[in-house]
């Protein structure tokens, strides 16, 4: 059972650190997530300055989520954000010690989620979590992809994906995102369509992708055993959770996306913020 920390804001009990390569740049990357005081939110710190992990700072949504503030920029932050958000950590400073993107690790959010749980999460007494509650249905669309937010008492997410075979059509539903994150969502790896790799690499993308950090997908089938059922859809749900974290508050809504992606997720997050007030 996931604690709701008595509705208090929270932070980590001690710092944690990750190192590896970035998925897109293929360069070494090292991050440290350290405890932060009440009302800090999640903030990335680069030598050039700090970047709040909030929607107004989003600067790219094409293959990953990137945020920037002036000269400071950090990419591929969605798995870090999903883990903090789903596990209920409201305040943390993410210090970027090396690299310009978060390390891909094993392609999933599991190493980050586990490290957060091992470090421990503590309530900050006398504080209140921010929450947005969707009160009327909201709808956004973008190039054949659609997202809906419906009133609901907690964060539920349903993701529908359509890919060529062997993935095909998948529906992944997490009726309680926070409760199901560790078992059902965090283990899902970044899908890697092997046929696309050459094209991506020639454009300077996916340079860090390897069989160690993606779920390889060949035309004839998966290149590895699946960790969770419908792993591709589950990974899209993981990315959605990371993108919704940029709202900067707990969300009470049922979110449904069809063929979603980062840009659609951000658009829905903005629509949620515009339609509701943040309760403190
Ligand atoms: Zn991802």
Q: What is the CATH number of domain 131-275?
A: 3.30.1700.10
pLDDT in tens, 158-184: 999 999 999 999 999 999 999 999 999
Hey, which of 110-124, 192-206, 264-278 has the most confident mean pLDDT?
Answer: 110-124
Crossing angle for the helix pair 78-86 and 231-244, to the nearest 10 degrees? 80
Ligand 1 centroid, distance to 125 Cα (angstroms): 33
How many other CB atoms are found less than 10 A from the CB of residue 248?
Answer: 21
Can you read off the two tokens belonging to residue 95? 């210090």
Quick check: 181 and 241 in contact, CB under 8 A? yes
| Pairing mode, strands 58-60 and 138-142 | unpaired
Ligand 1 centroid, distance to 220 Cα (angstroms): 23
- Nearby residues for ligand 1 (ion, Cβ within 5 Å): 190, 239
SS3 259: coil
Ligand 1 centroid, distance to 192 Cα (angstroms): 11
CATH of 5-123, one of 1.10.540.10, 3.30.230.20, 3.20.20.20, 3.40.190.10: 3.30.230.20
Quick check: 222 and 216 in contact, CB under 8 A? yes
Residues of the chain with CATH 3.30.1700.10: 131-275
Q: How confident is the model at residue 118 (pLDDT cuts 50, 70, 90)?
A: very high
Q: What is d(CA 171, CA 233) in angstroms, rounded to the nearest whole number?
A: 7
Residues of the chain with CATH 3.30.230.20: 5-123
pLDDT in tens, 189-227: 999 988 888 788 888 888 888 888 999 999 999 999 999
Quick check: 159 and 171 in contact, CB under 8 A? yes
Catalytic residue chosen out of the listed positions 24, 79, 254, 262: 262
Backbone dihedral region of 143: left (phi > 0), alpha (psi from -120 to 50 degrees) or beta? Answer: left
Backbone dihedral region of 204: left (phi > 0), alpha (psi from -120 to 50 degrees) or beta? Answer: left
Ligand 1 centroid, distance to 75 Cα (angstroms): 12
**20-29, 85-94, 164-173, 237-246: which has the minimum mean pLDDT?**
20-29
Helix then strand then coil, % of the chain, to nearest 5: 25, 35, 40
Ligand 1 centroid, distance to 262 Cα (angstroms): 9
pLDDT in tens, 223-262: 999 999 999 999 999 999 999 999 999 999 999 999 999 9
Can you read off the two tokens belonging to residue 139? 């709808």
- Give the list of residues 6+ apart from residue 73 with CB closer than 8 angstroms, or none: 46, 48, 51, 59, 66, 67, 100
Ligand 1 centroid, distance to 239 Cα (angstroms): 5
Instruction: State the pTM of this model.
Output: 0.96
Catalytic annotation on 79?
no
């Amino acid at each position: 059972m996931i604690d709701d920390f008595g509705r208090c804001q929270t932070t980590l009990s001690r710092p944690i650190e990750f190192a590896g390569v970035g998925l897109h740049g293929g360069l070494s990357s090292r991050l440290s997530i350290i405890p932060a005081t009440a009302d800090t939110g999640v903030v990335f710190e680069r030598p050039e300055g700090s970047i709040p992990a909030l929607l107004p700072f989003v600067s790219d949504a094409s293959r990953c989520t990137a945020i920037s503030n002036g000269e400071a920029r950090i990419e591929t932050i969605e798995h870090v954000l999903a883990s903090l958000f789903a596990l209920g950590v409201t305040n943390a400073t993410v210090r970027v010690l090396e690299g310009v993107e978060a390390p891909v690790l094993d392609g999933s959010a599991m190493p980050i989620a586990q490290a957060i749980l091992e470090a421990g999460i503590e309530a900050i007494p006398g504080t209140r979590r921010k929450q947005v509650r969707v009160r009327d249905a909201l709808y956004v669309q973008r190039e054949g992809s659609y997202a809906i937010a419906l009133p609901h008492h907690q964060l539920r997410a349903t993701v529908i994906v359509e890919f060529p075979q062997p993935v095909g059509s998948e529906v992944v539903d997490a009726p309680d995102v926070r409760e199901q994150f560790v078992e059902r969502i965090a283990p899902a790896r970044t899908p890697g369509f092997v046929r696309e790799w050459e094209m991506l690499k020639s454009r300077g993308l996916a340079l860090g992708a390897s069989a160690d950090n993606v779920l390889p997908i060949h035309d004839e089938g998966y290149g590895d055993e699946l960790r969770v059922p419908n792993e591709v859809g589950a990974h899209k749900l993981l990315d959605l959770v990371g993108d919704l974290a940029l709202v900067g508050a707990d969300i009470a809504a049922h979110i449904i996306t069809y063929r979603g992606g980062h840009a659609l997720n951000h658009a829905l997050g903005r629509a949620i913020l515009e339609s509701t007030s943040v309760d403190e």
